[in-house]
Amino acid sequence: MHEFSDRTGRTWTLEATYGSYARVRSHTGVSLFDIATEERKSLQQLADPFTLGQVIWSLVEPQAESRGLTPEQFFAEFDGTTLEGAYAALMDEMVFFCQPRQRKILTAAVQKVREADKAADKLVDEMMPQIEAEIDAALAQWTSGRSDTNSPESSESTQAPGPSASCSQPSEAGSVKPGTTRQPS
């Protein structure tokens, strides 16, 4: 069994059993058993946060119901950090549920993925000063462009009151200008 916590600090336990896997498959169409196969379609499906959330709900549904929570109430306490923790717990539980010879290989694979994630996080941290400088430069350019558009128009571009040159003038003496009423003769 592996655990994660939601935003309120409530702890949820993921337990892989044939029954819980059957419930996940029935509710979501995701077969968690396939982590030990070559296809591993479930890993692709779990990359979608909404599918992942539905799988997590299916696994904790009995716990949530015993706590009197609806799916909406359960998901109201989810954010990116919660989802990341739930995903890590799910991966550990899926590996744990495999046969011992497969578990060793999958544990190594999951460890490599986590190391790659840490390396990517480190790279982002190293790039942040450059990224922030680029954002600052873009904002400075944007705000300087905005101050130009907020200045009053010059007198040359201001039109005098009256009909615009693009409006057609009446061609007949008896024509009525728009917005006026013809007086009876």
Q: Could you read off the pLDDT tens digit of each residue along the chain, which spans 185 residues? A: 899 999 999 999 999 889 998 999 999 998 888 776 667 777 788 888 899 999 999 999 999 999 999 999 999 998 889 999 999 999 888 888 877 777 887 888 778 878 888 888 888 889 999 989 999 999 988 888 765 555 555 445 455 555 544 444 444 444 455 555 555 55
On whether residue 169 sits in a domain, the answer given is: no
On whether residue 67 sits in a domain, the answer given is: yes
Distance CA 83, CA 92 (A): 14
Distance CA 35, CA 101 (A): 13
- pTM, 2 dp: 0.61
On whether residue 119 sits in a domain, the answer given is: no
The confidence score (pLDDT) of residue 89 equals 93
On whether residue 151 sits in a domain, the answer given is: no
On whether residue 73 sits in a domain, the answer given is: yes
Give the domain extent around 91. 2-99
On whether residue 144 sits in a domain, the answer given is: no
Domain total of the chain: 1
On whether residue 39 sits in a domain, the answer given is: yes
On whether residue 13 sits in a domain, the answer given is: yes
Which residues lie closer than 8 Å to 110 by C-beta, 6 or more apart?
91, 92, 95
In the chain the first and final C-alpha atoms are separated, in Å, by 96
SS3 (DSSP) at 45: helix
SS3 (DSSP) at 3: strand
The confidence score (pLDDT) of residue 98 equals 78
